[in-house]
Amino acid sequence: MGGGCRAVVTSARQEAPRAGPAASKVRAVASTYVINPRTDAEFASAVKTEGQTVVSPADLQRRLRPAYPLVVVHARQLDGERWRVWYVYRDGHWIAPD
């Protein structure tokens, strides 16, 4: 498999609210962004910058929309997974590398 088919993966830290009795506390959660297209450095930078303060895929999508009107952000949802993986598609879907 060639490296040209893989998306750029970047990480950031963000805060996520706890559920239950400790709901007033916040914990740091590492997030990984799978960015497509991986060759758009400006887009990747915008994702990293906005990703520092968002708490949901919808929030990230909303913040990116003024500059990238077709952007779509999906969370990977695997049972028991302790980290967040969000797929961020600039054009609303996966596109082949330039």
Answer whether 73's CB lies under 8 Å from 87's CB: yes
Instruction: Give me the pLDDT at residue 7, please.
Output: 52
Q: What is the largest CA-CA distance in the chain?
A: 49
Burial class (CB in 10 A: 0-12, 13-18, 19+), 72: middle
pLDDT per residue of the chain (98 residues) written in tens, 0 to 9: 444 434 555 554 445 455 555 555 555 567 899 999 999 999 999 999 999 989 999 999 999 999 999 999 999 988 887 788 999 999 999 998 86
Interacting residues of 22 by C-beta distance below 8 A, sequence separation 6+: none
Instruction: Give me the pLDDT at residue 30, please.
Output: 72
What are the residue ranges spanned by the domains of the chain? 3-89
Instruction: Give me the pLDDT at residue 1, please.
Output: 40
Q: How far apart are alpha carbons 20 and 69 in whole angstroms?
A: 36
Count the neighbouring beta carbons within 10 Å of the beta carbon of residue 29: 14
